[in-house]
Amino acid sequence: MIFETVVTTCAADGAVHIAPMGIREEAGIVVLSPFRPSTTLDNIEATRCAVVNIVDDVRIFAGCLTGRRDWPVVPCDAVPGVRLRAALGHRELRLSRIEDDGQRPRLHCTIVAEHTHRAFRGFNRAQAAVVEAAVLVSRLHLLPRDKIEREFEYLAIAIDKTAGPHEREAWEWLLATVESFFAASRTPVR
């Protein structure tokens, strides 16, 4: 099972990087699988730590994929890193081993601290639609245009029926990114 989270890492010089990432848990170990090249991968290799943030503000997922990465952070307790201030909870991780792969290495991380900041009430359909749309945007270069359009058309139903202001804002960021991508590739938009 893959859980959609937001991972925060720091470079050796302390520069913060925030990225949405699906994670796996295997026997109490968190497994991250960033694609190469990746700032997240570079940072974890340099510092041997990362933070998994559980968030319900889907603007963070959409924002990271649309050039909006400046989200407030606070220092962690057990690792030299930061967590998102908006996190409902977070896990501080230390890298224990790497399964190398030319495209997508698997980083096995031990949980060294775990904190809950607020209760998770659950996602509404619009929040889930934004997360799905963010995954599609992260794969624009891999998927056929007609698949992207069909998926966005379907996801728009949930946005229209259940979105609040944050979800609508995130949705608009993602739509603009898709439009821009296809305009740059000179593929006409339906």
User: pLDDT, tens digit, for every residue of 147-158?
Assistant: 999 999 999 999
Query: DSSP state, 187?
Result: P
User: pLDDT, tens digit, for every residue of 25-56?
Assistant: 998 899 999 999 999 999 999 999 999 999 99
At residue 190, the pLDDT reads: 45
At residue 115, the pLDDT reads: 98
pTM of the shown model: 0.92
Residue 172 φ/ψ, nearest 5 degrees: -65, -40
pLDDT of 123 above 90? no
Please compute, for residue 110, the number of CA atoms within 13 A of its CA located in the half-sphere on the CB side: 8
What are the b/e assignments for 122-142, b being 16+ CB within 10 Å?
ebbebbbbbbbbbebbbebee
* Residue 1 three-state SS: coil
| pLDDT averaged over every residue in the chain | 95
pLDDT of 110 above 90? yes
- Label residue 185 by pLDDT band (50, 70, 90): confident
Q: Considering only CA atoms, which of 21, 135, 166 is closest in space to residue 152?
A: 135
